[in-house]
Amino acid sequence: MQKYLPVLRSCPFFTGLTDDEILSILHCVSAAKITRPRGSYIFRAGDSTEVMGLMLSGSTLVIQEDLWGHRNILSKCNTGDFFGEPYAATPGAILNISVVAEEDCEILLLNVKRLLTACPTACDHHQKLIRNLVSVLANKILLFNDKITHVSKRTTREKLLSYLSAESIRQSSISFDIPFDRQQLADFLCVERAAMSVELSKLQKEGLLVTKRNHFELLTR
């Protein structure tokens, strides 16, 4: 695991821990590294889990799908991001999301049940990790609140402007990249791709933004 320490150090879950403490806590939570090829499922809706995933490399999409194949993207996880924490921390909870590898990836699985029970080695850093987990969960709630704000808008145009404005504020710049391609952005905002493309063209003609691929620049009049 030592070669992954640069990723682990930068992860909020391990904030305040030394390298030795990180390696020790990985043993406490029965950490296991897995690799998955592009397109494969890490978690499937309908299952339950005691582990959460930490991205070591690659990226995954957290999605909801119905029986007809309609996809709603909840979030994208890149290196250093987590997924599955709320379900792993709730015994018996049934997943209503799936996690799919967007590209070949390496993932560290951490047993949250082990974290939330008394540490057999009584390590001093156990409490730090629990506090960090609470912070990670709180941040995830904020991200989903943002998504609710965007998708609750009435029109495709309003959803786009809400999302792009929030990304501009989050990245402290009117020129920024988003983590989604066009289809993924449509799935994230719960709109039809064709309708979204029409609105993007209108917004460019109106001089409100310039976009190319996943790069956007917001313009003010």
Band of pLDDT at residue 121, cut at 50, 70 and 90: low
pLDDT tens-digit profile of 60-114? 999 998 877 788 999 999 999 999 988 998 888 999 999 999 999 999 999 988 8
pLDDT band at 221 (very low <50, low <70, confident <90, very high): low
Q: What is the pLDDT of residue 33?
A: 95
Nearest CA among 110, 89, 115 for reference residue 33? 110
CATH class as words, domain 153-218: mainly alpha
pLDDT of residue 129: 83
How confident is the model over 15-42, as a mean pLDDT?
Answer: 91
Between these two residues, 137 and 215, which has the higher pLDDT value? 215
Cβ atoms of 120 and 33 within 8 Å: the answer is no
H or E segment to which residue 26 belongs: helix 19-28
Determine the pLDDT at residue 140.
86
Give the model's pLDDT for residue 128: 82
Task: Give the residues across from 99 on adjacent strands.
Answer: 43, 62
Domain coordinates in residue numbering, the chain? 2-144, 153-218
What architecture does CATH give domain 2-144?
Sandwich (2.60)
- The predicted pLDDT at position 170 comes to 92
Whether the predicted pLDDT of 47 surpasses 70 = yes
Residue-wise pLDDT tens digits, 122-141:
566 777 888 888 888 888 89
> Which residue did the predictor score with more confidence, 39 or 3?
39
Q: Give dist(CA 125, CA 134) in Å, integer.
A: 15
Distance of alpha carbon 152 from alpha carbon 144, whole angstroms = 12
- Per-residue pLDDT tens over the stretch 161-213: 999 999 999 999 999 999 999 999 999 999 999 999 999 999 999 999 999 99
**Dihedral of CA 65/70/74/78: which sign?**
positive
Supply the pLDDT for residue 123.
62
Average pLDDT over residues 115-125: 66
Q: What is the pTM of this model?
A: 0.85
Residue 88, number of CB atoms within 10 A of its CB: 26
pLDDT surpasses 70 at 118 = no
**In whole angstroms, how far apart are CA 147 and each of 144, 166, 212?**
5, 10, 23
> Strands (DSSP E) along the chain, which ranges?
32-36, 41-43, 51-57, 60-65, 71-77, 82-83, 98-101, 105-111, 175-177, 209-212, 215-218
Hunting for tokens 């790069």 — which residue is that?
215
Q: Is the pLDDT of residue 59 over 60?
A: yes
